[in-house]
Chain A
Amino acid sequence: MKRWLIWVPFAVALGLLALVGWGLYKPADRTVRSALVGQRLPQFALPPIVPGKPGLATAAFAKGKPRLLNVFASWCIPCIAEAPQLLKLKQAGVEIDAVAIRDTPAAIADFLARNGDPYAAIGDDKTSSVQLALGSSGVPETFVIGGDGRIVLQHVGDIRAEEVPGLIAAVRNAR
């Protein structure tokens, strides 16, 4: 048996322990991110859900100006929590569109009346198909879409007040 071969098990064990120790102290980020970040929005065309507000299609993006795409639902509690932040973003001049997931017109109208309406357009995604195509795994999620129609950033979970400036900067930089 070669001399160095004897040390292989010891080295393997040390490597394993280092790996596991590292995994322990840096807990994995278990958020499921979309594989589409950096790529073009998938093709979709959703009908409107509330009267007086247009539906949403891929064509609305890629017009040279960055926009936010908010995935939300009236039945989602964190969506209520993030509504004030969306309004702030709108006041800061950010244009926001939305996809309503598995919802009804009456519930959405009620939700907007209670929590404010930051949206330029809302698409009706009854079967979550567009949500799945976007690679979004829950509500709420917010995508920053660049002026060229590419997904620049995916924000998972509700937007906190302290995260608003960051998002505004992301939209500004996403020319």
Chain B
Amino acid sequence: MIAEAGLAALWFAAALALLQFVLAGMGVWRSTPLRAEATGSARTDAETTLTADIIAAVRPVAVVQGVLALFAMLLLITVFVRSDMSVLLVAENSHSDKPMLYKIAGAWGNHEGSMLLWVTILGIAGAAVALLERSLATRTLIATLGAQAAIALGFYAFLLFSSNPFARLDPAPADGNGLNPLLQDPGLAFHPPTLYIGYVGISIAFSFAVGAMITRDVGPAFARAMRPWVLGAWIFLTLGITAGSYWAYYELGWGGWWFWDPVENASLMPWLAATALLHSVSVLATRDGLRAWTLMLAVVAFSMSMIGTFLVRSGILTSVHAFAVDPTRGSFILALLAIYIGGALLLFALRVGTVKQGNTFDAVSREGALIVNNLLLSVILALVLLFTLYPIVAAGFGTQLSIGKPFFDKFIGPIALALGVVMAIGPMVRWRRDDPGVVLGRMIAPVAVTGFALVALVALGGGIAWLPLFGLALAIGLAVASVLPLWGRNLRRTPLFTYGMVVAHLGIAVSLAGMACDAAFTQETLVAVRVGEPYRAGPFSVTLDGIKPVVGPNWSALEARLSARRGADGAVFYLRPQSRFFANPVTVTSESAIATRWDGQLYTVLGEPDGTGRWQLRLWWKPFVTLIWFGGALVAIGGALSLLGRLRRERRVRVREAYA
């Protein structure tokens, strides 16, 4: 019954989305200011009342639609928790022996469930806009909710017609197939929902842009209304990418934190677009500039989210993450992509001519710096997209190739560094116009620190490749530059969103330092060891004490005990990397063991025995690698501070207006 109730909830939600779309369309159409004049007849009171009623109905419908979608998701989680094997999805992806956390996470660790999660978040986001948004003009808000309903409708159709998560299996099997063991990790329980909130949150920005294009209402008020939603989605994208990177780092056991895999790129591209959007929306909100460009970015950002979903779900590119390979579903999502992206860009082309040009500004100004930031982010985005899709292009010309990490690093690295330089300067430039000489004067401290770091690194380290070398020196200068906006200010009167910017920029510097340190100083040891033989890994001496079998809830493993000590007289500590065997489905995974110290991580992976009593061991000493994720978390915290600051100020303004 639970599964049928879930399916019914989905159908009702889809019907409400249709209603929401129709009502919003009628509301926007009937309230067109020009329509009355065009038809030449004055509106009767009855007509006006009807229009007002229609418009008033859109918000509640959006809320109920979101609640129904959430209800369907909760019912799916319920059948997973109860291990109801008569539901096809549960039988294929779960197992009664699984720990409870993974039963719940299993609900979205598969194609149908993750798409249901997608529409659930979409519905909740729409409901949140309907409930919370107060500052946007009513017509634009109704158009926005209409656009949101149009997106939801497509994805409801996708779920109901080609990916029903509640399909039954008759007869029910005795037990399920189990969840892919790589996904049986606490990281999975949180990583996809976080990333999806980010992906789908961007849909709000998209709907805002579509709404604004329909009503031709693009200006600072619109930007101020859109900004918190963009910020919110961006915070979750940042968290999702950071968590995903750490998951890949410790779970896949190859010692890297980013591989430029198509699916990683799929999460990075919306982030890049959202980051650009976040900055351009500031220009629109503060200075009423970059109107068309901001609309464009909002469309591009959500397009990247959908392309990301498409790349992951269609199996069109070879990837370690390609869980579901199914061309029918791929074509369905492709059709949705064509309708939404194509439709939005068509609307853009048709309407952008009627969007008035915003304010202009000098080249040396905050706006100028933000434009350079936007351009560089767009170039990186375009390159990532091009490199990710290039194997398909090449296949068209009959050659097979794949574009690997070194290629990406070589092209993206330098642009990212240039972006870092702009990030250091931007906050120190005034809006509208500024004097280049004065700006340079403000930059003396960071420039000096960067130069000093560069000289010190060359003198001390030596032999570091140029990209990590510049990266590390720049990161140190950036850290100084990012706190400069607080210099000489009354810290208690500085608005919270300025602190947010400082923390987020500092986070980028910290993360960059981690990446550069990992690239420059990592020491790798790959050895076949006998029990009792010590090996060196960076400053550590590591000895294999022995191998013993261990048993977990749904796996068995060979576990090595490694004793490690730093230097000759450090305290001994133990690491226990495992080679884990899962019976359902049959898979072997390697569980790395990581020792975290304040200045880096010792990363150990147990490999195969060689048959003569020796075991393969991979040992890495990665100085300061943790800074990568610590920096990512700082960026998200900065975003949260900024969001809080914006909301507080908006509220204060509203309260002041209410009393005025």
Query: What residues make up the interface of A, taking CB atoms closer than 8 Å to B?
Result: 1, 3, 6-7, 9-10, 13-14, 16-17, 19-30, 32-33
Residue B551 is within 8 A (CB to CB) of chain A in the complex = no
Q: How far apart are the CA atoms of A29 and B392 in the complex, in Å?
A: 11
Q: How far apart are the CA atoms of A10 and B338 in the complex, in Å?
A: 11
List B contacts of A19 (CB < 8 A): 389, 392-393, 396
Minimum C-beta distance from B256 to chain A (A): 23
Interface of A is mostly: helix
**Chain B 289-317 interface mask (CB, 8 Å, partner A; 1/0):** 00010001001100100010010001010
Q: How far apart are the CA atoms of A13 and B346 in the complex, in Å?
A: 10
Closest to B303 in A: A13
Checking A3, A20, A32, A33 against B316 with a beta-carbon cut-off of 8 angstroms, the contacting residue is A20
**Sampled A-B contacts (24; CB under 8 Å):** A1-B292, A6-B349, A6-B353, A7-B349, A9-B299, A9-B348, A9-B349, A10-B346, A14-B342, A16-B389, A17-B337, A17-B342, A20-B337, A21-B334, A23-B316, A24-B330, A24-B331, A25-B327, A26-B395, A28-B391, A29-B395, A30-B318, A32-B400, A33-B400
Within 8 A of A (CB), among B374-406: 389, 391-393, 395-396, 400
Query: What residues make up the interface of B, taking CB atoms closer than 8 Å to A?
Result: 292, 296, 299-300, 303, 307, 310, 314, 316, 318, 327, 330-331, 334, 337-338, 341-342, 345-346, 348-349, 352-353, 389, 391-393, 395-396, 400
Q: How far apart are the CA atoms of A22 and B396 in the complex, in Å?
A: 9
Minimum C-beta distance from B338 to chain A (A): 5
In the complex the two chains form, is A30's CB within 8 Å of B292's CB?
Answer: no
Q: How far apart are the CA atoms of A16 and B346 in the complex, in Å?
A: 15
Q: How far apart are the CA atoms of A9 and B346 in the complex, in Å?
A: 9
Closest to A18 in B: B338
Closest to A1 in B: B292
In the complex the two chains form, is A20's CB within 8 Å of B318's CB?
Answer: no
Closest to B392 in A: A23
Closest to B353 in A: A6
List B contacts of A28 (CB < 8 A): 391-392, 395, 400
Checking A16, A27, A29 against B400 with a beta-carbon cut-off of 8 angstroms, the contacting residue is A29
Minimum C-beta distance from B355 to chain A (A): 10
Known: A6-B348, A17-B342. 20 other contacts (CB 8 A): A1-B352, A9-B300, A9-B345, A9-B349, A10-B342, A10-B348, A13-B342, A14-B342, A17-B337, A17-B338, A19-B393, A19-B396, A20-B334, A20-B389, A24-B316, A24-B331, A24-B334, A25-B331, A28-B400, A33-B400
Closest to B337 in A: A17
Q: How far apart are the CA atoms of A14 and B400 in the complex, in Å?
A: 24
Minimum C-beta distance from B345 to chain A (A): 4
Q: How far apart are the CA atoms of A3 and B338 in the complex, in Å?
A: 23
Q: How far apart are the CA atoms of A7 and B318 in the complex, in Å?
A: 32
Minimum C-beta distance from B153 to chain A (A): 20
List B contacts of A22 (CB < 8 A): 392, 396
List A contacts of B352 (CB < 8 A): 1, 6
Checking B292, B318, B349 against A10 with a beta-carbon cut-off of 8 angstroms, the contacting residue is B349
Closest 10 pairs (CB-CB, A-B): A23-B392, A10-B345, A28-B395, A6-B349, A24-B330, A9-B345, A10-B349, A7-B349, A13-B345, A17-B338
Minimum C-beta distance from B45 to chain A (A): 41
In the complex the two chains form, is B392's CB within 8 Å of A20's CB?
Answer: yes
